[in-house]
Structure 1
Amino acid sequence: MLKRLAYLALCACAPLHAAPTFDDARLKQLAAERYWIALGHYETAKLGGWRSYVDDQRFFLAADGAHHPDQELRATVQALYAPASLGNKHAQCVFPARTRWLREQLQLSDLPTPDCQEYTQWFKDVSPHSAVMIFPAAYLNSPSSMFGHTLLRIDQADVQSNATALLSYAINFGAYIEGSDNSILYAWKGLMGGYPGLFALVPYQEKLSEYRSLENRDLWEYRLNLTPEETGRMVEHVWELKQIQFDYFFFDENCSYRLLELLQVARPSLDLTSQFPLTAIPTDTVKAVKQSGLVERIDYRPSRERELLERAKPLDAGEQQQVLAVSADTAQLQSPEFTALPRERQALVQDAAYRLERYRANGQERDPARSKRSFELLRAINRNPPPELEIERPGLPEDGHQSRTWQLGLGSRDDRAYAEYGLRMAYHDLNDNAYGFPLGAQIEILQLKLRQYEGNDWQVQRLDLATIRSLTPRNALLQPWSWQVAGGLERVLGKHGDEVLVSHVNGGAGGTWQLADDLLGFALGTVRVEHNNDFSGFIAPAAGFNTGLLWRNPLGNLSVEAKADYFTNGEVRRSLSLNQQWELFRDLGLRLSASRDFSKLASAQNEVMLELKWYQY
């Protein structure tokens, strides 16, 4: 509002160009065009009419432009004829994409010519020619990165021939956070729309360093076949969105959804956003972009963590200990233990030690002692260089299973037969098809399971709001923590031999170890807080453990787990479970589950279920 008042005041101080009169039907027709709708980020409102995703009145020139594309178009046409003396504040300078399109559609040959110095210099600096969609893979230890992320790199004309991608710019959309919210608060506010979302154009080198180094995430680069003209249209619109706020939600109005809107501005014939009415998981949006025919080439950049682990992979236990010794003290390069190694093994140890030092330095203030060690290791590497590091490209993330899952199971619990019906909104658990996903990663959001027992006895079996598990293996060089957190409703054994629906929040931390190829073992200490009508207190805390094995086998994924909760009120609850999934197709799996539950409140119960899982967006 203040922006519009200031703009009108400036206009009043100088004579206006006379705006021509346009046919009202023609203006309404233009306001309904797909390109104008894309420029205003409009969607059909639930009760009819329009609403814009933009949550910032500075973006609109009409009083109710957020809900009336036709009024915003008329206000824009009038503003284009404001006096040229407004300079950088002129509508033509603030809204170059709108200006270009309206000039073409209405043949506006008599517009004033303000000096848009700021925009002209900015566009010249960016010099857009082509675009690359960047997908930093999922990273469970960062709440903002659990589902992956997408951004756009804008390349100049000579980037490919000169290999100067690091000098390009990146278009990024993300939550704007003031202060230092902790991970739990960040996740909650991101789910509930507690942060505004902003577009930013930043040097690509900064984003590359952030994702590959600081967050240890692999990067996938999808070169798009946008023409220079289409890329320029998209960058024009990014200028219009400078410091303009949107609502931001993790699951739908997020980085990926906003970038799909930009691609529709670049090429108006695309229809990408309509495919995501409920959620916009980054991998799903990458699939949509690929299926639209926009992708012409895919490149892979491994993270520093992956490079370190691949370099250390051929080293035996003794050589890995040498890596730790040499990285801590470069004088160990002259030790008898190191010099006794064959020259080619020394080269591998030196290189792994240098990579370990650089990995540890990520996000840390400069340490002169560490810098000196790194320099000495580089000198040693130059004297005895290792073979080039070759990293096998993992499966494409967009080729993994779809994110939403429908479930149909038939089973028996203590001789009572049942059918179970389930829906999970997103998007992967430990036993799902692991292609394109890291082994030991689980993110489940909004999962509902209903059971129908014999006699048409229906009950809610569980409602998971969120279940997140990160089982990252530890090794001699890296010692990451494994952790899990979950919350929702679930059935547990009750006093009268039946199952009681309880609400709970639980979490845990511990370690995971690589026992063999594709075999992980894990052990976590856990805590749980539960509201149970069978308990005298309103809530009951418990401590316990969760341990098990996860095996990636020729049929699919097998997990074996043992869990226990020891409540402060004396209740002890334990369980053993086994799950094996057969991967029939990428988006179809068959899972066998067996479990035995123990409780001090009731006798032990056994359960077996065969479940069909259909992955679909």
Structure 2
Amino acid sequence: MFKRLLPLLLGGACATLQADPQPSAARLHELAAEPFWLALGHYQRDRLGGWRSHVDDGGFFLAERGERDPAAELAATLVALYRDPALADRHPQCRFPARTRWLRERLALDDLPQPQCREYTDWYADIAPHSTVLVFPAAYLNSPSSMFGHTLLRIDPPGIDSQGSPLLSYALNFGAYIEGSDNSILYAWKGLMGGYPGLFALLPYREKLAEYSRLENRDLWEYRLNLSAEETGRMVEHVWELRQIQFDYYFFDENCSYRLLELLEIARPGLELTDRFPLTAIPADTVRAVEQAGLIERSAYRPSREKELLARADPLSRPERDWTRRLAGDSTALDAAAFQALPAERRALVQDAAYRLIRYRKNGEERDDTSARDSYRLLQAINRAPPPRLAVERPVPPENGHQSRTWQLALGSREDRSFAEYGLRMAYHDLADNLDGFPLGAQIEIAQLKLRQYEGDHWQLQRLDVANIRSLTPRSTLLSPLSWQVGGGLERVVGKGRHDDEQLVGHLNGGVGATWHLADDLLGFALATARLERNGDFAAFLSPAAGFDAGLLWRNRLGNLGLEARADYFHNGEVRRELSLVQQWEIAGNLGLRLAARREFSQQGAPASELSLQLRWYHY
């Protein structure tokens, strides 16, 4: 096909091509196979052979089958570069500056026409790309699209370290484009199935900074990359080519992090970062890949507004926290005699905490006169008596946490039967996993499979989790977040099934409640729960239940210990209860040993006890 098209494609160019008037078919095929050209077209090997571009937008290609034929796209581009320069901003050279520069260099095209690309030139000059920072907003459980975190690039102009501010930089972001307001379930489903188009956007960094660290209360990690000004400029050149160009967006692989890795491969050809992520691209794993590639020069941590508030309130006594809440609700309390009687240094801390509490509460809300008046009065008091500089403890960086995929091997017994259990979790972290780089009380498990082999070579599917998410955020005198959990899939429960006392059931469950700090590194939680179950032992097709889930989570010298009691009370009279204990020993960052014990009670069968010792290997 290409050989038949080549004479036609070259015919329009041979009159003006001087440096290489008729590049041979072999030469063009050689260029089309180079990694940089493949990166410019976002090509990857198709599973059935040949090539396929990740770009899902016909406007990106000049050849009829350019999305599947890199050589045809290269030949079509070469012809297009010699079009009438009067096309100006509509000229292919203006539309594809990265392609133009590369072909000019590789084929010594010194005679190319010179169209006036004013729109591109002004855009590039406004950005003034000089250096690059990888930005990682940490995981945010209350947003389905942000549960695993996010990555974006900050494009800095010259002199940013010595005389500029990152607020003047630009943020380069890739995300799903959503029209309307889909609910969370539809959003998650369409995100998994590629139901949203993905687009690149370049916008002022201050807007992204406000969105992530303020509106969503997310910590930010900024990683200065060692890309040169030339490499950063090469990447920005290509971003111009991707304006309004659509990609299919998938939460777990072709997502924000994967697309940014493609851009880094254009900035520095030969990195091959995307080759490490054939199945999933979890943002923390992609940050780790960038670090392992030697791209990170240094890092900086920006705590969220919530972290800053909690750090300021931490040294306050209970009466001082009461004053903080009172001042945040009515700033006239600044003049109260009891408040003025506090030592000056303590008043300074309380005033600052009260101001931060107001700003935290007003996140995402419209400005109102009352809060504006209280904020102004508190700022005046803070200016008269400034508090000490706030110091927020820097947590373990996310790239130092365990990797996202987990392989599991367990030996154990259930009553008088021994078993071996083999498991795989695609992502990401549970309450007992190695904690470095993760917050205590946060759990996100996606696609977990467990197969069990009993004595006598009897195999059974023990569980298959689609998702299991828990957010156990502790309450305080200043903040009162809800704790919640949701999960669904297949699991074994006590019953009258064919395999002794266990029945495989489908379920969907959720719960809401509260978590408290009982001591340093000790959380207590209690949630009211609801469950919907498909159980062959029940007469109804679907059986609802209400119940509770309560327990303790303790960070100790070995690792994490969880003690939990839960119960489900079904509408048909069945009562199912369970006590469980889990202790993880953190052998290494990506290796853990877990002891688990549980006791189950059910009216469907006799009580059952289970004990297991599990080796967990975290490996992408």
From 509, 515, 520, the equivalent of 1:517 is: 520
Letter paired with 1:146: M
Matches within 5 A, 1:322-401: 322-401=323-402
Q: Distance in 1 between matches of 2:333 and 2:224?
A: 45
- In the other structure, the counterpart of 2:533 is 530
1:437 to 2:438 alignment: yes
Kept in 1, the 8 Å contact 2:482–2:513? The answer is yes
Letter paired with 1:577: S
Q: Deviations over 1:186-222 (max 9, x none)?
A: 1221112111110000100000000000010111110
Look up the SS of the partner of 2:161 in the other structure: helix
Q: Distance in 2 between matches of 1:28 and 1:280?
A: 31
Q: Name which of structure 1's ranges 408-417 and 337-346 shifts more when overlaid on structure 2.
A: 337-346
- In the other structure, the counterpart of 2:91 is 90
Kept in 1, the 8 Å contact 2:14–2:22? The answer is no
Q: Distance in 2 between matches of 1:569 and 1:62?
A: 65
Look up the SS of the partner of 2:496 in the other structure: coil
- In the other structure, the counterpart of 1:568 is 571
From 544, 547, 570, the equivalent of 1:544 is: 547
Matches within 5 A, 1:44-123: 44-123=45-124
Kept in 2, the 8 Å contact 1:17–1:81? The answer is no
Kept in 1, the 8 Å contact 2:441–2:473? The answer is yes
How far apart are 1:337 and its partner, in Å?
Answer: 2.6
Letter paired with 2:491: E
How far apart are 1:18 and its partner, in Å?
Answer: 3.9
Number of aligned residue pairs: 604
1:425 to 2:423 alignment: no
Q: Name which of structure 1's ranges 491-500 and 506-515 shifts more when overlaid on structure 2.
A: 491-500
1:238 to 2:239 alignment: yes
Q: Give the percent of matched residue pairs that are identical in Structure 1 and Structure 2.
A: 68
Q: Distance in 1 between matches of 2:15 and 2:441?
A: 66
- In the other structure, the counterpart of 1:453 is 454
Letter paired with 2:494: L
How far apart are 1:15 and its partner, in Å?
Answer: 12
Q: Distance in 2 between matches of 1:93 and 1:268?
A: 23
- In the other structure, the counterpart of 1:268 is 269
Q: Distance in 1 between matches of 2:351 and 2:317?
A: 14
Q: Distance in 2 between matches of 1:535 and 1:520?
A: 36
Q: Structure 2 unaligned segments of length 5 or more: list them.
A: 1-11
The alignment's C-alpha RMSD in Å is 1.2
Look up the SS of the partner of 1:162 in the other structure: coil
Kept in 1, the 8 Å contact 2:468–2:487? The answer is yes
Q: Deviations over 1:260-298 (max 9, x none)?
A: 000000000211000111111111100110111111111
Kept in 1, the 8 Å contact 2:13–2:79? The answer is no
Q: Distance in 2 between matches of 1:611 and 1:495?
A: 27
Look up the SS of the partner of 2:288 in the other structure: helix
Matches within 5 A, 1:126-525: 126-495=127-496, 497-525=500-528
Q: Deviations over 1:305-329 (max 9, x none)?
A: 1000000000111111100001111
How far apart are 1:21 and its partner, in Å?
Answer: 2.1
Q: Deviations over 1:128-173 (max 9, x none)?
A: 0000000111111111111011000000002111131100001000
- In the other structure, the counterpart of 1:9 is none
Letter paired with 1:579: V
Q: Deviations over 1:45-78 (max 9, x none)?
A: 0011100001111111111111110000001001
Kept in 2, the 8 Å contact 1:134–1:221? The answer is yes
Look up the SS of the partner of 1:161 in the other structure: coil
- In the other structure, the counterpart of 1:8 is none
Look up the SS of the partner of 1:577 in the other structure: strand
Kept in 2, the 8 Å contact 1:223–1:298? The answer is yes
Q: Distance in 2 between matches of 1:247 and 1:493?
A: 43
How far apart are 1:510 and its partner, in Å?
Answer: 0.8
How far apart are 1:476 and its partner, in Å?
Answer: 1.0
Kept in 2, the 8 Å contact 1:131–1:154? The answer is yes
Letter paired with 1:552: R
Q: Distance in 1 between matches of 2:111 and 2:308?
A: 59
Kept in 2, the 8 Å contact 1:16–1:81? The answer is no
Kept in 1, the 8 Å contact 2:16–2:111? The answer is no
Q: Distance in 2 between matches of 1:338 and 1:459?
A: 66
Kept in 2, the 8 Å contact 1:16–1:82? The answer is no
Q: TM-score, normalised by structure 1?
A: 0.97
Look up the SS of the partner of 2:377 in the other structure: helix
Kept in 2, the 8 Å contact 1:42–1:53? The answer is yes
Q: Distance in 2 between matches of 1:126 and 1:427?
A: 36
Q: TM-score, normalised by structure 2?
A: 0.96
1:591 to 2:594 alignment: yes
- In the other structure, the counterpart of 2:584 is 581
How far apart are 1:184 and its partner, in Å?
Answer: 2.2
How far apart are 1:340 and its partner, in Å?
Answer: 2.2
1:555 to 2:554 alignment: no
